[in-house]
Structure 1
Amino acid sequence: MKKYSTAVDMWSVGCIMAELLAKKPLFNGKTGADQIDKIFKTLGTQTETIWPGFSELPGPKAQFVKQPYYLLQKRFPAASFTGPPVLSELGFDLLNKLSYDPETRITVDDTLNRDWFREVPLPKSQDFMPTIPPQLGTGMFKEH
């Protein structure tokens, strides 16, 4: 049985957060197997300890090189002199809560209550989005 929940969306949120910070794709696989390999190289190879029930998931079981668990912090060092992105401890703590196991993954409400959203620099107001009034008679919505 396939199961979809907001935990799937939260996985995507974590990937997008990491990509915005790194200014490049987090897992840039060319095939499905390459994608999984890249995920495992960053987050570690799946085990029953990390994700209870993982071995019972449907689908083919491929053999991957065993990778140490959770090397994401290497992608976002605490300090840098060379210019790569830097993520604060609070930001890394939030990213770390976006775990493999959807049952233990952080929820939307818990995410929004994390201290990372209150540290300097503070997020900008939602008022920064421009509003453009529709104009009849121009563009693809031209009246005939």
Structure 2
Amino acid sequence: MGTPVKRTSRDIRTANRYEVLRQIIAASPTSRQELAAATGLSLATVATLVGELLDLRMITEVGFEDSAGGRPRGLVAVNTTGGALIGVDIAETYVHVELFDLGLNVLARAEEDVRPGESLPEQVVGHVATAVGSVVAQAGVEG
């Protein structure tokens, strides 16, 4: 076995924030209690991470739902204009790139043909960079 990778508290916090965001994307709108149950994180940790995502404007408060005997639960959902995601598909003959909003709606697509013999990493990265530049320009998002 290899040497285990050491994870800092910052690494763990970042991974937890991404997991909470993934759950919100998958189940919008959702409550902090549902997020805690889905991620296995404590409610206090989820509340802190939701606060960070709200501050980053990646998610938004969208109302309340009744609880089973307590105050209503606040609901959060993805703020589709709060950021963008880029997906890259690299194949033998093409590089395909799609740009999505945070609600996973496609905003732009681009494809670069990869010619035979263009398999050096710098050549493939060049095609990826060109396609990424194209979708960013098409969608008019900030880099």
- Regarding TM over 0.5, the answer is no
TM-score class normalised by the smaller sequence: under 0.3
TM-score by length of 1: 0.25
User: Higher strand share goes to which structure?
Assistant: 2
Higher relative contact order (CA 8 A, sep 6+): 1
TM-score by length of 2: 0.25
